[in-house]
Amino acid sequence: MLSKSQISLLKSLQHKKFRKVHGLFVAEGYKSVVEFINSGYFVEEVYHTIPIAPKLLNLSAKINIKEISLNDMAKVSSLTTPPDVIALIRIPQAPVFDAQLLKNQYAVALDGVQDPGNMGTIIRTADWFGMKHIICSDDCVDVYNPKVVQATMGSLSRVQVYYTDLAKTLPLLQLPVYGALLNGQNIYTTTFAPAGLILMGNEGNGIRPEIQRLISTAVTIPGGGETESLNVSIATAIFCSEVFRQRF
Amino acid sequence: MLSKSQISLLKSLQHKKFRKVHGLFVAEGYKSVVEFINSGYFVEEVYHTIPIAPKLLNLSAKINIKEISLNDMAKVSSLTTPPDVIALIRIPQAPVFDAQLLKNQYAVALDGVQDPGNMGTIIRTADWFGMKHIICSDDCVDVYNPKVVQATMGSLSRVQVYYTDLAKTLPLLQLPVYGALLNGQNIYTTTFAPAGLILMGNEGNGIRPEIQRLISTAVTIPGGGETESLNVSIATAIFCSEVFRQRF
């Protein structure tokens, strides 16, 4: 049984404003919750509707676990189909960005990505390809948005996401910037350097002109069809895949 | 101004049952509506809240166009942010599947894909790479679901989607079936035939065992990270990209 104030707190965390006020976010679903418990995140409380699975129990020595009604779960979940388990998790301090961290590796940079599903899927894809860092412009969607957390399927617990002024930060990295533009060179004949940045833009407007100036190589995914563009999470994945293919 | 019954009709079309009863679906947003008007689809009516753009006007000689209030648009839209324009469109007769259609080309086959965003993104990606056909198991999400239509960004007007019993249909095609499995061969060292099928499975459970039996080459996307899987629309895109890269 959840109190009115607990329900109100959990629901409020669907909004960035209240996540900021409380320093908390919610992860929904068994897989996601387990990944956050296994990670360095501080899980304050776990709420579940079904008898807790052993895996969760083993890990939960120091975590408050509470059984709640299906009705309460439906109230606090952001999903159309409420999950069996949700966790209330402390938002860690924003990671300090250090240009040294990105030496000798690839990272993704995002300029104005707004859709939470896209952001979450990009984090999951970066994790798949072993990329540990994503650098976002300050106006990108918040990674603790419940739809982002959901779409990462736990990968958010392993990938560091930084919010920064890209115009100031990208030059500090001294890495080649491969920017996704419609009039760039063919990705399949582009030779990617051993380390670099994959730069993607906003869903509707692409990369802002002032950020485009920082691109060292403009790259395009050629296609044989009639549609004008690819979804940004799809384009990011094809870039990550091509970089990975060339390196391994 | 929309009548109560018009509002009720438009809202009901968010559900498959009522789309079937009425033989109608809704496309939302300017780009999507224009693509359907330009295609072979029969657009019954267009509703808009802002003065109609010239492009839409030029095309609309035979289409009923009606200005409605922001309030009515919010009522009938399936989106959190209601669009400026929506169209009421007739669902065409289910396309007749002909194995000959797929000769000498690539198509995507989907076994139990449930998420409308994934389905729509896969259609958009197939369109980008010039693939004209997607073969779905009967239990895949309906392509006229508003979230699917939205995610295709108009590509649904160009890609034919068939619903069928994959176990019966795939063998008729006499094409190599490249199935996405976690223990398959490395996609980057796989030589793809000039024509074939890219087979993808359900978000949680992958490809059903009885459909796995039809795979000629099991293929895996290698990754360097810790996450267990990629989103199905991402995996499909990486397959499409790799096939395209090898052929062009």
Do B77 and B197 have their domain in common?
A: no
**Sheet order of strands, A217-220 included:** A160-164, A133-137, A106-111, A196-201, A177-186, A217-220
Low-confidence ranges of chain B (pLDDT < 50): none
Do A58 and A103 have their domain in common?
A: no
Q: Which of A245, A246, A248 to mutate to test the interface with B (most CBs of B within 10 A)?
A: A245
Per-residue model confidence (pLDDT) at position B106: 96
Question: Closest Cα of chain B to A46: distance in Å?
Answer: 22
Do B128 and B216 have their domain in common?
A: yes
CB contact under 8 A, B223 and A248: no
Alpha carbon A5 to its chain's center:
29
- From B31, which residue of chain A is nearest by alpha-carbon distance? A228
Do B37 and B60 have their domain in common?
A: yes
- Chain segment A197-237, per-residue pLDDT in tens: 999 999 999 999 999 999 999 999 999 888 889 999 999 99
Containing domain of residue A84, as a range? 4-90
Do B151 and B218 have their domain in common?
A: yes
- Chain segment B18-65, per-residue pLDDT in tens: 999 999 999 999 889 988 988 889 999 999 998 766 566 566 567 888
The DSSP symbol for B51 reads P
**Residues on chain A touching B133 (C-beta within 8 angstroms):** none
Question: Closest Cα of chain B to A246: distance in Å?
Answer: 9
- Chain segment A147-172, per-residue pLDDT in tens: 999 999 999 999 999 999 999 999 99
Per-residue model confidence (pLDDT) at position A95: 82
- Chain segment A40-98, per-residue pLDDT in tens: 899 999 999 987 665 665 665 678 888 899 999 999 999 988 999 999 999 999 888 88
Do B82 and B108 have their domain in common?
A: no
Do A24 and A59 have their domain in common?
A: yes
Query: For chain A, which residues lie within 8 Å of any Cβ of chain B, measuring from their own Cβ?
Result: 117, 121, 124-131, 151, 153-155, 158, 188, 221-231, 233-234, 237-238, 241-242, 244-245, 248
Residue A34 pLDDT greater than 90, yes or no: no
Do B160 and B85 have their domain in common?
A: no
Which of B121, B224, B229 lies nearest to residue A234, judging by beta carbons?
B121
Contacts of B13 (CB under 8 A, 6+ apart): B19, B22, B24, B25, B26, B88, B146
Final residue of a domain: which of A55, A90, A125? A90
- From B189, which residue of chain A is nearest by alpha-carbon distance? A245
Do A58 and A111 have their domain in common?
A: no
Q: Which of B189, B241, B243 to mutate to test the interface with A (most CBs of A within 10 A)?
A: B241
Question: Closest Cα of chain A to B9: distance in Å?
Answer: 22
Taking residues A101-120, report their average pLDDT.
95
Do A208 and A186 have their domain in common?
A: yes
Element (H, E) at B28: strand B24-28
Do B218 and B141 have their domain in common?
A: yes
Do B132 and B175 have their domain in common?
A: yes
ipTM score = 0.93
CB contact under 8 A, B227 and A130: no
Final residue of a domain: which of B37, B70, B90? B90
Number of domains, chain B: 2
Residue A119 pLDDT greater than 60, yes or no: yes
Which of A124, A154, A238 lies nearest to residue B237, judging by beta carbons?
A238
Per-residue model confidence (pLDDT) at position B38: 86
Which of A131, A151, A234 lies nearest to residue B125, judging by beta carbons?
A234
What does the block give as tokens for B156? Answer: 């649904």
CB contact under 8 A, A224 and B129: yes
User: CA B10, B11, B12, B16 torsion: positive or negative?
Assistant: positive
Per-residue model confidence (pLDDT) at position B53: 63
**Sheet order of strands, B217-220 included:** B160-164, B133-137, B106-111, B196-201, B177-186, B217-220
Final residue of a domain: which of B90, B124, B151? B90
Per-residue model confidence (pLDDT) at position A59: 61
Distance CA A190, CA B199 (A): 28
* B2-to-A93, B30, B69 alpha-carbon distances in Å: 50, 19, 8
CATH number (domain holding residue A65): 3.30.1330.30
Question: Closest Cα of chain A to B46: distance in Å?
Answer: 22
Per-residue model confidence (pLDDT) at position A74: 95
Distance CA A213, CA A167 (A): 9
Mean pLDDT of the residues in chain B = 92
Query: For chain B, which residues lie within 8 Å of any Cβ of chain A, measuring from their own Cβ?
Result: 117, 121, 124-131, 151, 153-155, 158, 188, 221-231, 233-234, 237-238, 241-242, 244-245, 248
CB contact under 8 A, A223 and B128: yes
Per-residue model confidence (pLDDT) at position B58: 61
Burial environment of residue A7 by CB neighbours within 10 A (0 to 12, 13 to 18, 19 or more): middle
